[in-house]
Each structure stands twice: as C-alpha cells, then as structure tokens.
Amino acid sequence: MIALARMRTAGFLRSGRALAPLVAVLVVLSVLHGGAASPPASAYGYSAAALFAVLAWITKLVLDTEPDVQRRLARVAVGGLREAAAGLLAAAVLGLGVCLLAMLAPIPFGGIRSPLPGSGEPSTAVGVLLGVLAHLLALLGALALGALSGRAVTRRVLPGVAVLVTGSVLTVVLGLRGSIAPWLAPPVMATARALSEGTAPAAGVLLGLAGWALLWCAAALALYARLRRGRS
Amino acid sequence: MRFEGVWFRYARRAPWALRGAEATVEAGRTVVVLGPNGAGKSTLLQLAAGVLRPVRGAVRDRPAVVGWVPERFPAAQPFTAIGYLRAMAQVRGLPPAAADPWVERLGLAPHAGTALTDLSKGTAQKVGLAQALLAPPGLLVLDEPWEGLDAASRTLVPEIVAEVTGGGGAVLVSDHRGEIAGLPDAEHWLLTDGELRQAPEPCPSATAGRAAGEPPRAGERTAGEVAADDVVVEVVVRRHEADAAVVRLRASGHRVLGVRERSATAEEPR
C-alpha cells in the first residue's frame, strides 16, 4: 500500500498537475496573512477554512492523475481496499505538506501577533497548537470530499467537478452561524469561529469539533467505499 | 476458478454485457475466449481478473496472485519503462530489481530509460505483459496479448503461457485474430452476445493456419465418412474468424470436416 501511495505521489508531482493548486494555496495564504496581524488561533482557524476547498481539489487531482486502466492494474495487484486506501494516503501526505506550508506562511508575512496582555487570548504556543488541530480537521473533511468527487466514483469529468464545487460551497453555507443543518457539512467554519472568539475554546468544544469531523469523514468515506465497490 | 451464474452490465439501465456465465478454469490449463468484437470478451476477462465485480453471481476460488494484461497498456504516465516496472514490483511487495529479468527477457532493455509516453504500441504492450508477470501469477489474464507485437515477439506469448501453466497457474486469453495456433492444448470458450458457451471438447487448434493439401488431423473425420442422411455445407469465412467459426459450428453440434486455403478450392460455383 505504501509503495502504491509513493508511486501515485510521484506520478502526481511529475505530471505537473500540482502547479495550479500550489498557486491557489499561495494566493489564499498571502491574502489571509498579508493584512493586519491577528492572534495565531484566529489566523490559523481561517487559513484552515480557506484552504478546505483547495485541499479537496488536491485530493481529487491526486486520485485522478493515473489513467483508469492503471488504477485497475493497481487493484489487481493489491486488492480493492488497499488500492483505495493508497490513493487516500497519497492525498493525505500531500495535504499534510500544504498544511505545513500554511502553518509556516504567517512568518514571512508577519501575520500573527502575540496575545494582548490582559485580553485572555491564548498564548502563541497554544494558538499554534489550535491551528495545527484546525488544519488537520479541515484535511480530514477535504480528503473525504475530494475522494467522493474523484473520477473513480463519478466516472466522468463534469459530475466530479460538480461534486467538488457543490461540496465546497455547501461546507461554507451550511457552516454559517444559524445554519439549519450544520452537521451535513464538515465543521470547518465552526472550528474557525471557535478559534477566533478571543479566549481559547474549552476542551469539550474541541473534542466535540474533532468528533464531528471524524464522524463526518467516516460517513463520507464509507459512502466512498460503497460507491467504489461497484465501480472499477 | 469458477464463474457461478455471472451476470454483468456496466450501468443500471445498460443492456447485460454478460448473461449467466457458468464455467470453470482448472489450474494448469489455458482457456482461449473467442468471439466477435463487442461480444463481451474483455468484460469476461476483467471479471476473471477481479477488475470488475459481477452484478449477479460470483467468481469463486480466484488465485491469490493475478496478472492482468489489459487490451491497451495505459502509457499516459510520467514514468520511464524501467521506473514503472520497478514501482509496480514494489507495489506487489517485491524488491525493485524483480523487474530487471523481465526487462531483459522481453527485449525492453534498449527502451528501459524511455518515457512510457514515447514507447511504440508494441513496446508499451510488452511493458504491460511484464508488469503482469513480476510475481508468478496463479491466474494470468491476457486480453488480446498479440496486439501490436512484432513477429519475433509473438512467440513469446505461447512460451510465457506454457511457463505459467507448467507452474500450476491458469491462463485465460482472448483472441480475435487467429493467433491461438500457438496454444495447442487450450480449451476454447465462445462468447456471442454475452452468452458464454464452452466448446464440447478441446478443439484441434491451428485449423485456420493449416496449409492447403495437409491431411486432416487425427480424430477428424474425412468427407468419406459423411452418412447417408447428412449433407455437406461449404462455408467461406474470413481468415481471422476461421477458428471462431469452427468452434461455433462444433458448439452447435455440427461436424467440421476440414479447413483449407481458398486457392485449394479448385471447383468453381456449379
């Protein structure tokens, strides 16, 4: 499985498909951190939310890079389950690279500031840790959405793009304050809000967000596995 | 490996590509799947390899290691031939060097450093053949393996098939060009419109390639043995369809008296 994930990562990077999402990542990060400095938790919370759609797009690109027949050859070699898992693993590794870039991005821009004394804001270290958590939660949801929009599921190009765009838009719309069904989308917006409230969110809130993200991701990946079973 | 009442279609409203296929492939045997274009040969082979899943029925007792050579090798990948084969060896859990003997044997060494996208069709087909053989397969599925291969390389296919069956593996191969002459002991399956039938007994092969004037093979009756209530129907078929036609006629219960070159049919229409 790891060898297949490595082969797919190499195939994606050599194909040149990484360029467009990389430009998108840089644009998002420079717009986010280029303005006034914010406390780290808030800055990272919104960076995770803004990168969600790009991370889902990267997942789709990684899964769609190899020709359909090559995907079937991989399936014959390692079995259906490990073939699907290797694709997600390759996308996760590349997604983690983007998250690392997002964590480092505020440094050259001077995009984060130390907590104001007496404001109750979390320390910079805690803020950075919260930022790491926010990016990981966004990556989980993005992997699942990207997988569902992959060609192995949608078979044709246009439905795949439709799933990706609709999913990304719904994640924002359903995540807005006062949404009627926030649980239909991964908690990307809810995490960003929780991290920008000034004080550090309570442990219970963080656990709730992590559980929500994990459950949503598990449900979406179960659907992915089910859809992949009948499709080669 | 057994096909148990296998039905398959590509989409819910699509017509059935395969209807109720029942068949068994014994270990150590070669099966040639014959049939016209669009009859479902590739579908059957992909079901055997585990690339497709039956909509109804099941494929049971598939060997653990399956090698599948697709009809067209997916060459649109950013790897060199050797880079690809080494990566596929690692995907199979083998050391990368496991690819090297096959590169030598299939004559890929001069193209090892060439990008897959720059390979000729026949060379790409050899890369497709090599990736299926990296781990000794318990089942080797070859979809039109002769496509694009030059004359020198064509003999490789029967050699490799013999090695796999000799090692106790089963081989399933599709063919619509009458190349099966090289696979003398093969069982023949015939696919027409998604219906799978097995030829009653292994047919003597090479019928299509037999030269004019050659005596009929042992076991074949000659024209002299035609009984009183029989009539002889002479049929002309295209050369590459000859084997399929013989199998089809035999499957329908007819006796095939012989196959000959057109030049040997001296008699003009009476």
The tens digit of pLDDT for each residue in B49-60 reads 999 999 999 999
Q: Please state the ipTM of this predicted complex.
A: 0.90
Mapping DSSP onto H, E and C, the string for B116-157 reads HHHCCHHHHHHHHHHHHHCCCCCEEEEECCCCCCCHHHHCHH
CA distance A178 to chain B (A): 40
pLDDT higher at B40 or B68: B68
With a cut of 80, say whether residue B72 has pLDDT above it: yes
Closest CA to B258 of B244, B246, B247, B240: B246
Specify the pLDDT at position B210: 40
Tell me the β-bridge partners of B174. Answer: B33, B143
Q: Which residue has the higher pLDDT, A93 or B250?
A: A93
Report the percent of chain B where pLDDT is more than 90: 55
pLDDT in tens, A146-181: 999 999 999 999 999 999 999 999 999 999 999 999
Nearest Cα residue in chain A from B79: A11
Helix A203-229 crosses helix A124-148 at what angle (to 10 degrees)?
Answer: 20
pLDDT tens readout for residues B130-154: 999 999 999 999 998 888 888 778 8
Domain edges within chain A? 2-229
**CB spacing of A73 vs B72 below 8 angstroms:** no
Mean pLDDT, residues A81-108: 96
What integer pLDDT is reported at residue B53 of this predicted model?
92
Among A76, A81, A82, A153, pick the best mutation site for testing chain B contact (most B Cβ within 10 A). A76
Q: Average of pLDDT values for A206-222?
A: 97
Q: Which domains does chain B have, with CATH numbers?
A: 2-198 (3.40.50.300)
CB B189 within 8 A of CB B199: yes
Show residues of chain B in contact with A70, CB under 8 Å.
Answer: 74, 77
User: In chain B, which among 80-139 make CB contacts under 8 A with chain A?
Assistant: 87-88, 90-93, 131
Residue count (chain A): 232
Question: What separation in angstroms does the CA of A6 have from each of A92, A185, B87, B91, B231?
Answer: 12, 30, 9, 9, 66
C-alpha distance from A76 to closest chain B C-alpha (Å):
6
So what's the pLDDT on residue B6?
95
Optimal mutation site among A70, A81, A154, interface B, most CBs of chain B within 10 A: A70
Task: Quick: pLDDT tens for A129-151.
Answer: 999 999 999 999 999 999 999 99
C-alpha B270 chain-centroid distance? 39
Q: Is the pLDDT of residue A72 over 90?
A: yes
Specify the pLDDT at position A198. Answer: 82
A7 part of contact set with chain B, CB < 8 Å: yes
- In the numeric block, which tokens belong to residue A197? 């409230």
The residue that leads in pLDDT, B243 or A116, is A116
Determine the pLDDT at residue B211.
40
Average pLDDT over residues B98-104: 95
3-state DSSP call for residue B189?
strand
Residue B218, pLDDT > 80, answer no
pLDDT at B204: 47
Q: What pLDDT band is residue B228 in, cutting at 50, 70 and 90?
A: low
Nearest CA in chain A to B94: A3
Interchain CB contact of A17 with B (< 8 Å): no
Q: Is the dihedral of CA B84, B90, B96, B100 positive or negative?
A: negative
**pLDDT at site B221:** 42
Give the gap in angstroms from C-alpha A5 to the nearest C-alpha of chain B.
Answer: 9
The whole-number pLDDT of residue B213 equals 40
Mutate to test the interface with A, among B1, B46, B66, B91 (most CBs of A within 10 A): B91
Tell me the C-alpha to C-alpha distance, in Å, between residue A11 and each of A5, B80, B247. 10, 11, 45
DSSP secondary structure, B67-105, as one string? EEE-SS----SSSBHHHHHHHHHHHTTS-GGGGHHHHHH
Q: Which of A99-108, B34-43, B93-102, B150-159 is predicted least confidently?
A: B150-159
For chain B, what is the radius of gyration of the CA atoms?
A: 20
Among the listed ranges A25-34, A220-229, B96-105, B234-243, which one has the minimum average pLDDT value?
B234-243
Q: What is the pLDDT of residues B155-164, one digit of tens each?
A: 888 889 999 9
Q: What is the mean pLDDT of residues A70-80?
A: 95
Average pLDDT on A179-200 reads: 93
Res. B179 pLDDT band, cuts 50 70 90: low
- How far is A55 from A94, CA to CA, in rounded Å? 9
